Amino acid sequence: MALDPRLLRLRGGPAPTGDPALDAAIGESGGDFHDKVYTTRLDAVLGWSRKFSLFQYPFVTACCGMEYMAASANHYDTDRFGAALPRFSPRQSDMLMVVGTITHKQAPVLKRVYDQMCEPKWVVAVGACAVSGGFYQNYTSVPGCDKIIPVDVYVPGCPPRPETILDAIVKLQEKIQNQKHEFI
Amino acid sequence: MSEQAEHHPSATLSRVLAVLGDKAVGFHDRLGDDTVAIRPEHLVEVARTLKDDPHLLFDFLMDQTAVDWIEEEPRFELVYHLFSSKYFHRLRLKFRVPESDPSCDSLTPLWGSADWMEREIWDLYGIRFRGHPHLQRILLYDEFEGHPLRKDYPKDAAQPLFEPRYWGSREHEDPRKARGGDLKTL
Ligand code: SF4
């Protein structure tokens, strides 16, 4: 995967950095400092590295799960986007995929899984049920998992096409690249 | 009329009516489903007879459910579906229990499959089964109040375990604010 062009600032002479040691190093490099060194913002490089190493935790509860399996298996292959390996421990994952209907009995479990994930973390709600409760309006279904945890990307459909799920991953990568990152 | 007069109950239904005698208070075989109505106080006795009779041998309680006939009295109808794995015949048993005392005897000692089905009926209809070893909710959580398949339960009256949150995406980007919650039970 090529470097994101936003990471690179190749044009223009070396600007004073304000750091005397770094300025001296740039002076000693003989003018081709920017051919040897990429300069960028920490945010951008963190975003760039994080967006291509998404480890997903599939919280699969209902029929959408079949579609999720089709999307993550090799025919559609989420690995092309750097979201390859489902981790079945929330500690090792940073993308929570809520796939399917969430019931009120299940809500504390979903909340706990989300709380156990380490920062930074993102949530994708896959399918009409996870987005809004879908066609369920009754005593037992949560009307959308964003009533319990924050959601970054909503994927419509009952169930969504695999392409829609891939599109959601690309959308999430855009969001990760452009958001503010803390160096935790 | 003449068709009805010539209609004879099936061999299974005839045998059931013969062994039950006056414990069978009604019967029909509409659409080929042999059905017998009994009184709730005879349930265990009738069930044991049907299970042990050598020509019936209903050894499998396939299904057990309830119907809420709201505005009728007695209000709740219990429905049992029996099957014989030796003779491959089926029977439906029915009786009603009143709203003032919605309870009947448990069939768990006779058929193990009654265990979870009776818990489900208790969970969703609030009918108690005397003699059940552990009559607890099976599908809903213990904090749930009421029995949602009763027709007077409002269909969308949810009972969330904790208050719903409305998070904006801006909050999520600040990890310190995205943590925590007001979870009551886990
Ligand atoms: S959105 Fe449709 S396919 Fe997905 S879990 Fe809900 S009912 Fe099933």
Contact A29, A39 (CB under 8 A): no
For residues A25 and B27, the model is more confident at B27
Contact A168, A124 (CB under 8 A): yes
The model carries a pTM of: 0.77
- The single-letter code of the amino acid at A161 is R
Q: Do B156 and A140 touch (CB under 8 A)?
A: no
* Interface contact flag, A107 B155, Cβ < 8 Å: no
Instruction: Output the pLDDT for position A179.
Output: 83
**Which residue, chain included where needed, has tokens 């809903």?**
B140
Q: Determine what percent of chain B falls in helix, strand and coil, rounding each to the nearest 5.
A: 30, 20, 50
| Cβ–Cβ under 8 Å, residues A96 and A123 | yes
pLDDT number for residue A60: 92
Which pLDDT belongs to residue A16? 61
- The reported pLDDT for the residue numbered B100 is 92
In order along chain B (186 residues), what is the average pLDDT of each group of 10 residues? 63 89 88 91 92 92 94 92 93 94 92 93 93 92 89 83 58 44 34
CB atoms within 10 A of CB B19: 16
Interface ipTM: 0.72
Q: Where are the domains of chain A?
A: 52-178
Alpha helices in A38-96 (DSSP H): 42-51, 64-72
Give the Cα separation of B13 and B35 in Å (integer). 8
B4 touches A at CB < 8 Å: no
Is some CB atom of chain B closer than 8 A to the CB atom of A10?
A: no
The alpha carbon of residue A39 and the mean position of all alpha carbons in its chain are separated, in whole angstroms, by 24
Alpha-carbon distance B4 to A104, whole Å? 52
- Return the ligand 1 atom nearest residue A135 CA: 7
Predicted confidence (pLDDT) per residue in A43-65, tens digit: 888 888 888 888 999 999 999 98
A109 Cβ below 6 A of ligand 1: no
Q: Among B159, B164, B172, whose Cβ lies nearest the Cβ of A152?
A: B172
Residues 143-172 of B with CB under 8 A from A: 148, 153-162, 164-169, 171-172
Query: Is the C-beta atom of A60 inside 6 A of ligand 1?
Result: no
**What's the pLDDT score for residue B1?**
46
Cα distances (angstroms) measured from residue B123 to each of B27, B59, B114, B141, B182:
29, 26, 14, 9, 27
Q: What are phi and psi of A8, to 5 degrees?
A: -100, 140
Query: How many interchain CB pairs under 8 A, A with B?
Result: 68
- The pLDDT-based confidence of A137 (bands split at 50, 70, 90) is confident
Assess whether pLDDT exceeds 70 at residue A9: no
Chain B CA closest to residue A183: B175
Specify the CATH class of A52-178 in words: alpha beta
- 3-state class (DSSP) for residue A143: coil
- A13 burial level (CB within 10 Å; 0-12, 13-18, 19+): exposed
Q: Does residue B185 sit at the A interface (CB-CB below 8 Å)?
A: yes
Q: Ligand 1: does its nearest atom lie under 6 Å from the Cβ of A66?
A: no
Predicted local confidence at residue B66, as pLDDT: 95
What does the pLDDT look like over A83-100, one tens digit per residue?
Answer: 877 888 999 999 999 999
Of A3 and A107, the structure prediction assigns the larger pLDDT to A107
Report the C-alpha gap between B76 and B124 in whole angstroms.
Answer: 12
pLDDT score, position B130? 92
> Cβ of B158 and A148 within 8 Å?
no
Closest CA to ligand 1's atom 2: A158
- pLDDT at residue A17, as a whole number: 66
- Say which residues have a Cβ less than 8 Å from residue A36's Cβ, sequence separation at least 6: A29
So what's the pLDDT on residue A29? 61
What pLDDT band is residue A155 in, cutting at 50, 70 and 90? very high
Examine the pLDDT at A26 and tell me if it is beyond 80.
Answer: no
- Contact call for A108 and B178, based on CB within 8 A: no
